[in-house]
């Protein structure tokens, strides 16, 4: 196994709406602050990985360099659905582990505005001139709403209901409790897009989007950026004691795609690749789920978070409903999950998400999370899923003091 990589700088913008800024403004703000946090400058950086789902095909990283320093280093523009940010970070980690760089900068950004529902929303249903089968399914028209749903709230609702069909004690109320928790957690996070507490009744009585996901159980669209500065073991030894003291070890970095399963013909399976990524990460890091002091996982919808309790081994097999019922994932529970407020309330600017959850865990491990600090946190895990699918899991540990 190659030497470890470390996070020595981390930053994120507050998630929200920035109609007067562009992606480069947001990415610059996060990157410059991460460099400042690391006590480094752009001249120390030997590779830049820039993640944005909508801007990766548009030389985002090089446009960012025009604002923060054009030093001629290799730039990778990365897209991997909602795992985009984590994939950018992992690109930096791989360069360090390969010995190509001893310091790397990774940035994730997205500017979504109020773009509404993601997925295949369907096009106009006016009568076409003549039906002509096209595409790999030989379809004669857009089929959203005709052959089920491909919209994200419904796809993840079906993923949750599939779990409910196989396990007792999981229903609308358990899914709603996930959102109740994450909204409550977000009230302590000044960087969250929303910070309002809602009762379980309010969550369940909110407008239905795709049963069982109500509006308060769905992540919002939004804008934001996050960035980390990474370095090698050898490089860390040469840095200031203050930087070393605050350094966070990346004990595992794992990326998976979905292996074949029979139900792929209906919709992507978000569980199998997460289970594999988690198992590999625990082995790589030499930690067990019980060692975790906090977890930031991909709660794009409340139904998704619940099934990931089991996928990430945070609860017994089949026990996800019981885990939320006994408040296991609350910030004062067995394993605090999404103390940032999660995607549901902190927000989900797609490319930023997988970097922002590393920022969150690293900030707790450094003991710098303010009001929302999980006291004495030593080990944390981050997880993101890009539907289609890509899953990234990272395990972080506080530097031995």
Partner 1 sequence: MSEAIGRRIPVVDYLVIEGEPHLVAQACTSCGALFFDRRNACARCGKLEFEPKDLATEGTLRSFTIVHRAAPNVPVPYVSSVVELDGGGVVKGNIVDAGSDAEKFELGMRVRLTTFPCGRDEEGTEAIAFGFTPA
Binding site for partner 1 (CB under 8 A): 117, 121-125, 127-131, 133, 136-141, 143-149, 151, 153-154, 157-159, 161-162, 164-165, 172, 207-213, 260, 262-267
In the residue annotation, 82 being an active-site residue is answered as yes
Give the list of residues 6+ apart from residue 20 with CB closer than 8 angstroms, or none.
none
Q: Which is nearer to partner 1, 79 or 152 (CB)?
A: 152
Q: Give the nearer residue to partner 1 in terms of CB position, either 264 or 283.
A: 264
Q: Which of 82, 219, 231, 391 is catalytic?
A: 82
Check: CB of residue 289 under 8 Å from CB of residue 312.
yes
Measured at the CA of 135, the angle between CA 129 and CA 136, to 5 degrees, comes to 145
Residue nearer to partner 1 on the CB measure, 5 or 152 = 152
Q: Which is nearer to partner 1, 212 or 347 (CB)?
A: 212
Q: Which is nearer to partner 1, 147 or 234 (CB)?
A: 147
In angstroms, give the least distance from the CB of 178 to partner 1. Answer: 16
Residue 200 backbone class (left: φ over 0; alpha: ψ -120 to 50; beta: rest)? alpha
CB of 150 to partner 1, least distance (A): 8
Instruction: Give the shortest CB-126-to-partner 1 separation in angstroms.
Output: 9
- CB neighbour list of residue 213: distance below 8 Å, 6 or more residues apart: 153, 156, 157, 160, 175, 301, 302, 303
Reading phi first (left if > 0) and then psi (alpha if -120 to 50, else beta), residue 7 is in beta
CB of 213 to partner 1, least distance (A): 8
Q: Which of 185, 298, 308, 348 is catalytic?
A: 348
> Shortest Cβ distance from residue 119 to partner 1 (Å)?
9
Least separation in angstroms between CB 311 and partner 1: 16
**Is 348 one of the catalytic residues?**
yes
CB 3 within 8 A of CB 232: yes
Q: How far is the CB of 292 from partner 1 (least distance, A)?
A: 29
Planar angle of CA 184, 53, 395, nearest 5 degrees: 55
Structure tokens, 332: 């004062």
Q: Tell me how far apart the alpha carbons of residues 142 and 162 are, in angstroms, rounded to a whole number.
A: 25
For the bound state, the minimum distance from the C-beta of residue 124 to partner 1, rounded and expressed in Å, comes to 6
Would you state the structure tokens that stand for residue 229, as one six-digit string?
A: 């500065």
Q: CA distances (Å), 275 to each of 255, 269, 280, in order?
A: 11, 11, 9
Strand, helix or coil for residue 296? strand
C-beta of 1 vs 207, nearer to partner 1 = 207
3-state SS assignment for residue 364: helix
CA distance 199 to 106: 37
Given the complex with partner 1, which of 144 and 325 has the nearer CB atom?
144
Listed residue (46, 52, 44, 5) closest to 24, CA to CA: 52
Residue 42 or 117: which CB sits closer to partner 1?
A: 117
Local structure of 28: helix, strand or coil: helix
Instruction: Of 353, 359, 351, give the one whose Cα is nearest residue 299.
Output: 353
CA distance 26 to 22: 7
Instruction: Report the distance separating Cα 137 and Cα 62, nearest Å.
Output: 38
Active site residues: 82, 348
């Amino acid at each position: 196994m190659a030497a470890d990589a470390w996070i020595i700088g981390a930053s994120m913008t507050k998630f929200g709406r920035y109609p007067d800024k562009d992606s480069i403004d947001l990415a610059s703000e996060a990157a410059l602050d991460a460099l400042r946090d690391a006590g480094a400058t752009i001249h120390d950086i030997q590779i830049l990985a820039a993640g944005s789902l909508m801007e990766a095909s548009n030389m985002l990283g090089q446009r960012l360099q025009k604002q923060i320093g054009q030093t001629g280093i290799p730039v990778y523009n990365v897209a991997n659905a909602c795992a985009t940010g984590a994939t950018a970070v992992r690109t930096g980690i791989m360069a360090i582990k390969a010995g190509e760089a001893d310091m790397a900068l990774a940035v994730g950004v997205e500017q979504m505005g109020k773009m509404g529902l993601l997925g295949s929303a369907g096009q106009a249903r006016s009568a076409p001139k003549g039906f002509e089968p096209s595409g790999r399914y030989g379809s004669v028209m857009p089929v959203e709403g005709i052959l089920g749903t491909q919209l994200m709230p419904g796809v993840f609702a079906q993923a949750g209901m599939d779990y409910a069909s196989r396990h007792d004690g999981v229903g609308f109320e358990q899914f709603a409790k996930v959102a109740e928790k994450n909204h409550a957690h977000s009230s302590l996070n000044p960087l969250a897009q929303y910070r309002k507490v809602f009762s379980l009744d309010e969550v369940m009585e909110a407008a239905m989007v795709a049963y069982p996901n109500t509006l308060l159980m769905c992540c919002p669209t939004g804008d934001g950026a996050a960035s980390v500065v990474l370095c090698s073991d050898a490089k860390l030894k040469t840095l200031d004691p203050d930087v070393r003291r605050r350094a966070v070890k990346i004990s595992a970095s794992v990326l998976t795609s979905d292996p074949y399963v029979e139900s792929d013909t209906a919709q992507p399976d978000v569980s199998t690749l997460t289970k594999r990524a988690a198992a590999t990460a625990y082995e790589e890091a030499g930690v067990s789920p019980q060692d975790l002091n906090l977890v930031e996982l991909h709660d794009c919808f409340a139904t998704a978070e619940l099934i990931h309790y089991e996928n990430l081994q945070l609860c017994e097999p089949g026990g996800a409903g019981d885990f939320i019922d006994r408040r296991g994932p609350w910030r004062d529970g067995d394993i605090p999950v999404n103390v940032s407020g999660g995607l549901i309330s902190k927000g989900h600017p797609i490319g930023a998400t997988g970097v922002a959850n590393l920022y969150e865990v690293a900030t707790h491990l450094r003991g710098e999370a303010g009001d929302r600090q999980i006291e004495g946190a030593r080990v944390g895990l981050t997880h993101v899923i890009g539907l289609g699918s890509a899953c990234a899991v990272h395990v972080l540990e506080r530097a031995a003091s």
